């Protein structure tokens, strides 16, 4: 367990997905959702102002091209961990090649996402 709160930004254009992710993260008392974005521009703005540790990034987020949002997030928040999410499992290779720390298919069981979040959280124990 981490001895500090992990600040999470949720970036997905579907409100119901953002809500489900928020509810899933609430199960962990060491996680706090610091913002929710519905497009790439909003995600970049929130990353700059809210300083998240982790972003759950919809790989098909509107406004994103070839991982440009991922690169922008890392520019405004160096050291940021990014979990790319997609309903298309075949997007895994592109997301990882663009620099996502982890890829999780939206069709995977919730436990897969929780495990990925936990793996990312482990990196923050040493900061």
Provide φ and ψ at 44, rounded to 5°: -65, -40
Helix (H, G, I), strand (E, B) or coil at 62: coil
Mean pLDDT on 29-43 = 95
- CA quadruple 14, 17, 18, 20: dihedral, nearest 10: 160
Mean pLDDT on 44-63 = 95
Identify any residues that bridge with 83 across adjacent strands, giving them in sequence order.
56, 102
Helix (H) and strand (E) counts for the chain?
5, 5
On average, the pLDDT of the chain sits at 91
CA–CA distance, 100 with 67 (Å, rounded to integer): 9
Topology of domain 6-124, CATH: Rossmann fold (3.40.50)
The confidence score (pLDDT) of residue 127 equals 47
CA–CA distance, 124 with 6 (Å, rounded to integer): 8
Strands 102-105 and 81-86: parallel
Please say if the pLDDT value at position 126 is more than 70: no
**Predicted confidence band at 122 (pLDDT cuts at 50, 70, 90)?**
confident
- How does pLDDT run across 59-82, given as a tens digit for each residue? 999 987 768 999 999 999 988 999
**Predicted confidence band at 125 (pLDDT cuts at 50, 70, 90)?**
low
**Predicted confidence band at 1 (pLDDT cuts at 50, 70, 90)?**
very low
Mean pLDDT on 6-11 = 96
- How does pLDDT run across 76-114, given as a tens digit for each residue? 998 899 999 999 999 999 999 999 999 999 999 999 999
Start-to-end CA span in the chain (Å): 13
């Amino acid at each position: 367990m981490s001895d500090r709160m992990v600040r999470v930004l949720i970036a997905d254009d579907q409100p119901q997905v953002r809500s489900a992710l928020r509810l899933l993260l609430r199960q962990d008392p060491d996680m706090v959702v610091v913002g929710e974005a519905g497009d790439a521009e909003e995600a970049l703005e929130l990353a700059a102002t809210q300083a998240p540790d982790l972003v759950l990034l919809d790989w098909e987020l509107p406004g994103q091209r070839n991982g440009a949002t991922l690169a922008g997030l890392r520019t405004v928040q160096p050291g940021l961990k990014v979990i790319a999410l997609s309903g298309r499992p075949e997007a895994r290779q592109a997301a990882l090649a663009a620099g996502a720390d982890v890829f999780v298919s939206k069709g995977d069981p919730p436990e897969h996402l929780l495990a990925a979040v936990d793996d990312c959280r482990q990196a923050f124990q040493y900061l």
